[in-house]
Amino acid sequence: MMAKLTLSILAVCSALLTPGTTATNADNGQWILFNEISRVSNHSLMWGPYRPNLYFGVKPRIPKSMIAGLMWGKVDDFASVSQTVRHACEQSDDMAGYGWDEYDVRTGGHQVIRDPGNSIDIHTEFIKVEGGENGGHWGVRVKGIPRTGAPVDLKTMVVFYVGLEGLGSLSLQNEPDERGLVGDVTLEGSIPQLGEFKIDITVGPSTNKPPQIGHEKYWNEKPLDRTSYRSLKVPAEDVWKAKDILFMGLRDNFLKVKEKYGESNIPPPWQAFTIPNTFGLGNFHMVQKVFEGGFEFDILYSSASALTPMTTDILTEKIRTASKSFADRFENTFPREPPFNAPRYRQFAHNFFSNLLGGIGHFHGTSIVDRTYAPEYEEEDEGFWEEAKAAQARPDAAQPEGPTELFTSIPSRPFFPRGFLWDEGFHLLPVSDWDMDLTLQIVKSWISLVDEDGWLPREQILGDETRSKVPQEFQTQYPHYANPPTLFFVLTKFIDQLEEFQSKKGDSMNEHLDREPPSNLFSSDELPTIHLKNLEAALEYLRSIYPNLRRNYFWYRQSQSGEIRGWDRNAYSKKEGYRWRGRTPEHCLTSGLDDYPRARPPHTGELHVDLLSWIGMMTSCIKRVAAAIGEHDDVAEFEQHEYAIKKNIDDLHWSEEHQTYCDATIDDYEESAHVCHKGYISIFPFLLGLMEKDSEKLGKVLDLIADPEELWSDYGLRSLSKKDEYYGTGENYWKGPIWININYLAIQRLMEYGSKEGPYQKQAAELYKKLRVNVVENVYKNWEDTGYAWEQYDAETGKGQRTAHFLGWTSLVVKIMNMPETMSVVAAPLRDEL
């Protein structure tokens, strides 16, 4: 009832705002407001560590502009330098954990990289400062702190570089000196969209010490209490290969000194492995410092559009205040409910969430797409997967498309530093609690990639740098492949919150509408919630994405349609049945649950219960978007779809024999038959909130979840039932191991069903309480033991496995800790069922 009421408030407000019912100058005022929000938001999000594939890399959200990054490594022997220099996050670096302990996209934060291989911990304290017109200033304090047991004379080289990938200029302001630069190093430049700027790389405090003088003669030539500097011209498409560029310089210098002094009198590695000082014009600029023991220095970027430049003092002050405000805001946004209110979960929570935000990147470049294969989304013939394989063996059919750009978070910095559709909706659930404006920008960035047919490629591998991390056979995208449409989760949440904000605001609405459009409509502190507070802005946003969203919705329905009538299936609707394209006998990668057992062999008559559920979820969401912006005909159509989908979930996918939801296929007798493997797939209608609270089937789902011989473990729900014949077999990726995204959905649903009066309320509430604790405790314990969040957790032991530093959806534990400890037995209904 509550939901109906608020929905009507939204509808009334939205009617008030329809152009034509408001005065022209108010329309104009709204446009100024939308533009102003967009402008201020763009500036606020301009800079960031938006190269999350690196341990530390900075760029603005402007394609083909400037990229910067940090490298370091110890230089105490000749042999190992090629292994010790760090740049891109690599599992093989064997870090003892790394990432952001605190981070906010608008103010910055603090990262620690624990590097036992180099006996040092590197800290990067990154800060953004508002000011001027072009995204303001930023600064980063780089600190090296030797780890326990490090040699007292530990020698570390640190390299910072800036490269231009497009138009613009950058040049050194210091007096060139072949022996190296004295004092702070200053670069000045200018880039379209950023204007003029300067970058200072400071000397740092007097506690910094150069290494011992090893080879006196060479020291006179190139004293290391100075900064080495090298500028050069690099083709735009190679600027990202900074480590190769560095090594070319190190090698040149090494060969030069070897020739000069002879093999027997060669200077020590920390002198020999320095970059040659060169001062030509160039688009790539690199500075190198060599220290003994701990060190600290600042990199300060100042936009010339601000009155005063960025300084070390400002950086120091902002590091202090940012840390305090992060902690306060975090406690307000994600208060931890018992038993996780104990202090030991605090750093864990900060760390997981900060790494999710700190993993946000800006990507740009071409993608590889094969549009020659199955142009009409076929896969209709027997053995169609063999054809698919043949098509994949023809790399010449794949063509680069684009370039396009994407602002997104990522599943994992070392292993998956790129956008994944299936993951992104989960990432944005915690992100949206923190910053809805940021979330909406990311959603919009994704939705703008929906093509003319409505297709949104599931994996965004944009540009050569991103492609360098992906084996070639996985680079090509196919325009008939789908993926779970998780971004719709986020839009549903946006509308929920919008209704909540607007119903609280009530009558003040009209007053708001009458306001003149002054320039100081809001301060940038209000950005995170600005679209919730300004209904006009929210609706404008929804209108702007609606055409692509709608096309994408109909693309799923059409391209992944399943056959109901052709196989004489008995179902309420002859339309609402779907089949993932892109199957092979062992895999259904497009479903996201890669190796989860499905029909064997694949069949064109298959129907997938998870996909029907996803489309059900999409339908409920897009219906609400359409209602909010007054697309009434669409609302009526979506309501019919929604009703039919719920009917068909039971008609097509409930197995009386197995008492669970199952995929369907065509058996040897050419009859429709269920394919039942209990696990995540068989509870999808539950996971996506498509079951009625009084349904007996809900009771069966809860029984399945609760059974320790099936899905229940002390560490979370298993992906496949322990009783299934495929449990723990083969690749064992989605055949048992515990995944946090699905456990989050289960916990969320148990909370909802546990708070609604009904025959299964008590059971749901009890399971909720236990599952919530099991999941968080296990992820926490693994983090304590290893310093990492993991991609998945073993179904028998709970041990984290596969990709380490998986701070995509595993960070949903932050939201889970924020949920109530228990459900009260008689609770007010939260909201009508979807």
Ligand X SMILES: *[C@@H]1O[C@H](CO)[C@@H](O)[C@H](O)[C@H]1NC(C)=O
CB of 43 to ligand X, least distance (A): 9
Q: Is 791 designated active site? A: yes
| Sites for ligand X among residues 225-264 (CB under 6 A) | none
C-beta of 35 vs 212, nearer to ligand X:
35
Pairing of strands 459-460, 98-104: unpaired
Task: Look at the block and give the residue holding tokens 């929000």.
Answer: 37
DSSP letters for 383-430: THHHHHHHHHT-GGG-EEEEEEEEEE--SBTTTB-SEEHHHHHHHHHH
* Identity of the residue numbered 512: H
CB of 422 to ligand X, least distance (A): 24
Q: Is 35 in the site for ligand X (CB under 6 A)?
A: yes
Q: Is 31 in the site for ligand X (CB under 6 A)?
A: no
From 37-45, 151-159, 182-190, 660-668, give the range in contact with ligand X by CB under 6 A.
Answer: 37-45
CB of 194 to ligand X, least distance (A): 13
Closest to 199 in 3D by CA, of 230, 172, 167, 180: 172
* Identity of the residue numbered 85: V
From 33-41, 105-113, 300-308, 657-665, give the range in contact with ligand X by CB under 6 A.
Answer: 33-41
CB of 263 to ligand X, least distance (A): 55
From 32-40, 78-86, 262-270, 460-468, give the range in contact with ligand X by CB under 6 A.
Answer: 32-40
CB < 8 Å & 24+ apart, contacts of 754-760:
754/823, 755/823, 755/824, 755/827, 755/828, 755/829, 755/830, 756/693, 756/827, 756/829, 756/830, 757/826, 757/827, 757/829, 758/693, 758/694, 759/694, 759/699, 760/693, 760/698, 760/699, 760/702
* Identity of the residue numbered 287: V
**CA distance linking residue 557 with residue 730, whole number of Å:** 32
Whether 44 contacts 38, CB under 8 Å? no
C-beta of 526 vs 650, nearer to ligand X:
526
Q: Applying CB under 6 A, what is the total number of residues that bind ligand X? A: 4
From 38-46, 135-143, 458-466, 469-477, give the range in contact with ligand X by CB under 6 A.
Answer: 38-46
C-beta of 28 vs 468, nearer to ligand X:
28
C-beta of 46 vs 158, nearer to ligand X:
46
Q: Is 39 in the site for ligand X (CB under 6 A)?
A: yes
Which of 102, 292, 791, 794 is catalytic? The answer is 791
C-beta of 38 vs 524, nearer to ligand X:
38
Q: Is 42 in the site for ligand X (CB under 6 A)?
A: yes
- Out of 3, 11, 16, 38, the residue judged to bind ligand X by CB under 6 A: 38
Count CB neighbours of 256 within 10 A. Answer: 12
Note the Cα 421 to chain centre separation in Å: 9
Count CB neighbours of 90 within 10 A. Answer: 15
CB of 400 to ligand X, least distance (A): 22
Residue 183 phi, psi (nearest 5): 80, -165
**CA distance linking residue 821 with residue 645, whole number of Å:** 33
Task: Look at the block and give the residue holding tokens 């400062």.
Answer: 129
**CA distance linking residue 96 with residue 84, whole number of Å:** 15
**CA distance linking residue 350 with residue 428, whole number of Å:** 16
CB of 544 to ligand X, least distance (A): 10
Q: Is 192 in the site for ligand X (CB under 6 A)?
A: no
Which of 196, 526, 594, 637 is catalytic? The answer is 594
**CA distance linking residue 626 with residue 645, whole number of Å:** 18
C-beta of 38 vs 695, nearer to ligand X:
38
Task: Look at the block and give the residue holding tokens 């984290």.
Answer: 800
Residue 763 phi, psi (nearest 5): -60, -45
CB of 716 to ligand X, least distance (A): 38
C-beta of 36 vs 423, nearer to ligand X:
36
C-beta of 316 vs 544, nearer to ligand X:
544
Count CB neighbours of 320 within 10 A. Answer: 10
Tokens of 281: 């014009």
Closest to 767 in 3D by CA, of 778, 780, 751, 745: 751
CB of 63 to ligand X, least distance (A): 9
C-beta of 302 vs 404, nearer to ligand X:
404
As a residue count, the chain comes to: 834
C-beta of 440 vs 627, nearer to ligand X:
440
Site string for ligand X, 262-291 (x = CB under 6 A): ------------------------------
Whether 148 contacts 54, CB under 8 Å? no
**How many DSSP H helices and E strands does the chain contain?**
23, 28
Whether 151 contacts 276, CB under 8 Å? no
Tokens of 649: 């979930």
DSSP letters for 474-538: GTEE-TT-----THHHHHHHHHHHHHHHHHHHTTHHHHHHH----S-S--GGGGGGHHHH-HHHH
C-beta of 438 vs 698, nearer to ligand X:
438
From 35-43, 420-428, 534-542, 705-713, give the range in contact with ligand X by CB under 6 A.
Answer: 35-43
CB of 408 to ligand X, least distance (A): 13
From 31-39, 192-200, 277-285, 570-578, give the range in contact with ligand X by CB under 6 A.
Answer: 31-39
Q: Is 544 in the site for ligand X (CB under 6 A)?
A: no
Whether 607 contacts 577, CB under 8 Å? yes
Q: What are the C-alpha distances in Å from 438 to residues 98, 350, 518, 703, 792?
A: 24, 19, 24, 40, 27
C-beta of 42 vs 797, nearer to ligand X:
42
CB of 191 to ligand X, least distance (A): 15
Beta strand ranges found along 648-691 (DSSP E): 654-655, 660-661, 663-666, 672-675
CB of 39 to ligand X, least distance (A): 4
Count CB neighbours of 537 within 10 A. Answer: 22
* Identity of the residue numbered 778: N
Q: Is 133 in the site for ligand X (CB under 6 A)?
A: no
From 36-44, 190-198, 587-595, 703-711, give the range in contact with ligand X by CB under 6 A.
Answer: 36-44
C-beta of 35 vs 640, nearer to ligand X:
35
CB of 42 to ligand X, least distance (A): 4
Q: Is 594 designated active site? A: yes
CB of 440 to ligand X, least distance (A): 12
Binding interface with ligand X (CB under 6 A): 35, 38-39, 42
Task: Kindly list the catalytic residues.
Answer: 594, 791
